[in-house]
Amino acid sequence: MMHIHKYESAFMRLAVMTLVIFAGAIAISVMGLGVHLPGAVEQIDPQQVSADPGFAEPGLRRVYEGRYIAHLVVEAWQFTPATLTVPAGSEVTFYLTSRDVIHGFKVFDTNINIMVIPGQIAEVTYTFDEPGEYQFYCHEYCGAAHHLMSGVIRVVE
């Protein structure tokens, strides 16, 4: 009996220790990184968006043939830039951040649908195979002119 009791208490100690370590790991990751929503990759001071080299001159940059990076500054009630043009077949990684309140970035005819939260840089990558005009808009209510927040990605032959 004594033997079993010892074994059980050692097991309990181990279980409690595991829980403590696990809770500690969660606490550290929440404190260290902030609570991240899907699509968010990096923290940024919403007051200092223009201090970030990517957002200082928002827009499209060609990395190499068929590969682009786009930085979009989002604020009430506009995307900057609101028009992007890429050749068909291009893979584009978008980085977006908000200067003020929560906005959204949804691109028609794609699976791009992310939240743009002040203080975070959201990232999403998509390959535009088909030529056409891909309208995008803000899908998080952000005030009086929310319904006017839109833009277009022109995918050309």
For residue 138, state whether it binds ligand CUA (rule: CB under 6 A).
yes
Which region, judged by CB under 6 A, interacts with ligand CUA, from 54-62, 83-91, 119-127, 133-141?
133-141
For residue 141, state whether it binds ligand CUA (rule: CB under 6 A).
yes
From the list 59, 67, 146, 150, which residue makes contact with ligand CUA (rule: CB under 6 A)? Answer: 146
Q: How far is the CB of 39 from ligand CUA (least distance, A)?
A: 16
Residue 89 CB coordination number (10 Å): 14
Within positions 38 to 97, which residues make up the interface with ligand CUA, using CB under 6 A?
77
Q: CA angle, corner 36, sides to 35 and 41, nearest 5?
A: 140
Residue 84 CB coordination number (10 Å): 21
Measured CA to CA in angstroms, residue 127 lies from 5, 56, 88, 97 at distances of 61, 25, 9, 21
Residue 64 CB coordination number (10 Å): 6
- Using CB under 6 A as the criterion, which residues of the chain lie in contact with ligand CUA when the complex forms? 77, 103, 138, 140-142, 146, 149
